[in-house]
């Protein structure tokens, strides 16, 4: 298995373009299954999760061509409705194909998804919503068998939690359903807006996206379109945290600053100078960061759970005590044990992590257990003295395009072995 070897500390400086959003690309690729014309997606990142989505689409009978950051999908000859267990286990987001397959084929067979082990991420909300739309679902030993006796029907769906995945599956199922679907307590993430923008460009009638209530008027069919994936706000937050913890000065290009509004105040509270200009963000860090009083992960527009681990790494070297409360996933502190190996001072009690800032971190071998925790270890290695070797980087490759090249662009000494 490959490792990332980092010689630290490195003060990051320079400019970097942010790649397209993983969490937007995957549902967009699923949505192409609904279109009766060619779909062209620009700014698709080179990620293992995107590769897995490509294999799923090809298995279903779609023609998929990748040229650089552009992915072209022709789903007109799609004819299958199953996803093999091996493909489902490659990524957690594979469940987003459920709504699209049911919409297109009126039946679907797939197993429960894999991906990072972050504690229970039940798909009950997905299944409850689809059942309201007329889908018959049988669950047997981790396998889902779904069918639609007549047609998908519009319905009034209230989500007990603003689940991103459930909202995406409802959108994908409802766009061609008979009648109107109203989703209450819907997720409001920018990636949801990106999916709706794509579907509307293909002929869908979706209203209210970005608010807690979404209204979908079913249409008979969708055509293909050309669309550009939004920048990855979590990757941007990761690069900003790396610059902050190393005392750096960087400019991120090709970003949407509004998508980062929940995290930018954290950098300012830590003593960084942050300036925003259209599609750019510049961060200049002090010699030593100040503590961040309290961070609570929440659904958008709250602080994103995906940014918790990299930001926690930043606070490990801050002066004072920072407190984190993880409200989304139960097992999202797996990176803490590895940060302790580097010299961090962190105590975890249930969903709360208390970080006492230390003056320095020291390089050591560490192992990534999940995507964002792995990125946090890379950030820590950039700030630690000596050599840090990060294993388990297949997790990191799911969400960061050539992360070592990005940090090399900013002056880091990092290589993949």
Task: Please check whether residues 373 and 311 belong to one and the same domain.
Answer: yes
Tell me the C-alpha to C-alpha distance, in Å, between residue 121 and each of 116, 117, 368, 404. 10, 9, 20, 30
Structure tokens belonging to residue 248: 């750096």
Task: Please check whether residues 347 and 321 belong to one and the same domain.
Answer: yes
Q: Is 49 annotated as a binding residue?
A: no
Asked whether the beta carbons of 84 and 52 are under 8 A apart, the reply is no
d(CA 118, CA 99): 23
Last residue of a domain, one of 198, 228, 258: 228
Last residue of a domain, one of 228, 250, 271: 228
Q: Is 261 annotated as a binding residue?
A: no
**Reading across the β-sheet that carries 205-207, which strands appear in turn?**
156-158, 180-184, 213-217, 205-207
Specify the pairing of strand 213-217 against strand 205-207: antiparallel
Task: Please check whether residues 202 and 126 belong to one and the same domain.
Answer: yes
State the CATH number of the domain containing residue 360. Answer: 3.65.10.10
Last residue of a domain, one of 192, 210, 228: 228
Q: Is 299 annotated as a binding residue?
A: no
Q: Is 43 annotated as a binding residue?
A: no
The residue from 62, 116, 225, 316 that is catalytic is 116
Residue 122: what pLDDT?
67
Structure tokens belonging to residue 239: 């690069």
- Structural domain of residue 141, as residue ranges? 22-228
The full DSSP string for 59-98 is HTT-EEEEETTEEEEE-TT----EE-HHHHTT-GGGGGHH
Q: Is 216 annotated as a binding residue?
A: no
Residue 330: what pLDDT?
80
Q: Is 60 annotated as a binding residue?
A: no
Tell me the C-alpha to C-alpha distance, in Å, between residue 310 and each of 182, 206, 290, 381. 36, 34, 16, 12
Asked whether the beta carbons of 13 and 249 are under 8 A apart, the reply is yes
Task: Please check whether residues 136 and 269 belong to one and the same domain.
Answer: no
Task: Please check whether residues 235 and 163 belong to one and the same domain.
Answer: no
Task: Please check whether residues 121 and 257 belong to one and the same domain.
Answer: no
CA-wise closest residue to 121 among 130, 129, 112 = 112
Task: Please check whether residues 28 and 9 belong to one and the same domain.
Answer: no
Specify the pairing of strand 63-67 against strand 70-74: antiparallel
d(CA 344, CA 366): 13
Residue 115: what pLDDT?
44
d(CA 39, CA 33): 9
d(CA 19, CA 17): 6
Task: Please check whether residues 141 and 277 belong to one and the same domain.
Answer: no
Q: Is 122 annotated as a binding residue?
A: yes
- Residue 146 known to be catalytic: no
Q: Is 311 annotated as a binding residue?
A: no
d(CA 87, CA 19): 24
Q: Is 144 annotated as a binding residue?
A: no
d(CA 200, CA 181): 15
Give 343-355 pLDDT, tens digit per residue.
999 999 999 999 9
Asked whether the beta carbons of 152 and 173 are under 8 A apart, the reply is yes
CA-wise closest residue to 409 among 242, 276, 237, 233 = 242
d(CA 1, CA 219): 48
Task: Please check whether residues 89 and 156 belong to one and the same domain.
Answer: yes
**What total number of domains does the chain contain?**
2
Task: Please check whether residues 174 and 214 belong to one and the same domain.
Answer: yes
Q: In which residue ranges of the chain is pLDDT below 50? A: 115-121
Residue 94: what pLDDT?
81
Residue 170: what pLDDT?
97
Hey, which residues does 303 pair with through a beta bridge?
Answer: 297
Q: Is 328 annotated as a binding residue?
A: yes
The full DSSP string for 211-246 is BSEEEEE--S-B---EEEPPB-HHHHHHHHHHHHHT
Residue 93: what pLDDT?
72
């Amino acid at each position: 298995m490959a490792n990332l070897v980092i010689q630290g500390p490195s003060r990051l400086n320079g400019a970097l373009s942010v790649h397209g959003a993983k969490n937007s690309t995957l549902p967009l690729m699923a949505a192409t299954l609904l279109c009766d014309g060619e779909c062209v997606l620009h700014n698709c990142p080179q990620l293992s999760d995107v590769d897995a989505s490509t294999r799923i689409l090809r298995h279903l009978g779609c023609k998929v061509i990748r040229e650089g950051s552009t992915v072209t999908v022709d789903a007109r000859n799609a004819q299958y409705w199953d996803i093999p267990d091996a493909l489902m286990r490659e990524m957690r987001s594979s469940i987003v194909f459920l709504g699209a397959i049911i919409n297109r084929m009126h039946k679907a067979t797939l197993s429960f998804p894999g991906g990072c082990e972050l504690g229970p991420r039940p798909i009950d909300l997905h299944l409850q919503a689809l059942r309201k739309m007329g889908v018959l679902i049988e669950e047997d030993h981790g396998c889902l068998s779904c069918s639609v006796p007549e047609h998908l029907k519009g319905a009034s769906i209230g989500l007990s939690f603003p689940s991103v995945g459930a909202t995406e599956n409802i959108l994908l199922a409802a766009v061609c359903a008979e009648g109107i679907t109203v989703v209450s307590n819907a997720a409001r993430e920018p990636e949801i807006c990106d999916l709706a923008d794509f579907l509307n460009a293909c002929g869908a009638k979706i209203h209210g996206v970005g608010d807690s209530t979404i209204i979908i008027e079913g249409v008979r069919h969708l055509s293909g379109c050309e669309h550009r994936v939004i920048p990855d706000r979590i990757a941007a937050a990761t690069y900003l945290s790396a610059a902050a913890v190393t005392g750096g000065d960087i400019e991120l290009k090709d970003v949407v600053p509004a998508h980062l509004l929940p995290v930018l105040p954290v950098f300012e509270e830590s003593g960084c100078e942050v300036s925003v200009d259209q599609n750019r963000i510049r961060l200049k860090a002090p010699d030593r960061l100040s503590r961040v009083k309290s961070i609570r992960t929440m659904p958008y527009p709250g602080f994103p759970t995906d940014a918790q681990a990299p930001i926690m790494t930043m606070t490990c070297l801050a002066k004072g005590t920072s407190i984190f409360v993880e409200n989304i996933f139960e097992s999202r502190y797996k990176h803490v044990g590895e940060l302790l190996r580097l010299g961090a001072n962190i105590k975890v009690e249930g969903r709360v992590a208390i970080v006492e800032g230390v003056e320095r971190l020291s390089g050591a071998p560490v192992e990534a257990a999940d995507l964002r925790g792995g990125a946090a270890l890379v950030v820590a290695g950039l700030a630690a003295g000596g050599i840090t070797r990060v294993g388990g980087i297949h997790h990191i490759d799911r969400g960061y395009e050539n992360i070592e090249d990005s940090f090399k662009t900013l002056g880091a000494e990092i290589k993949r072995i």
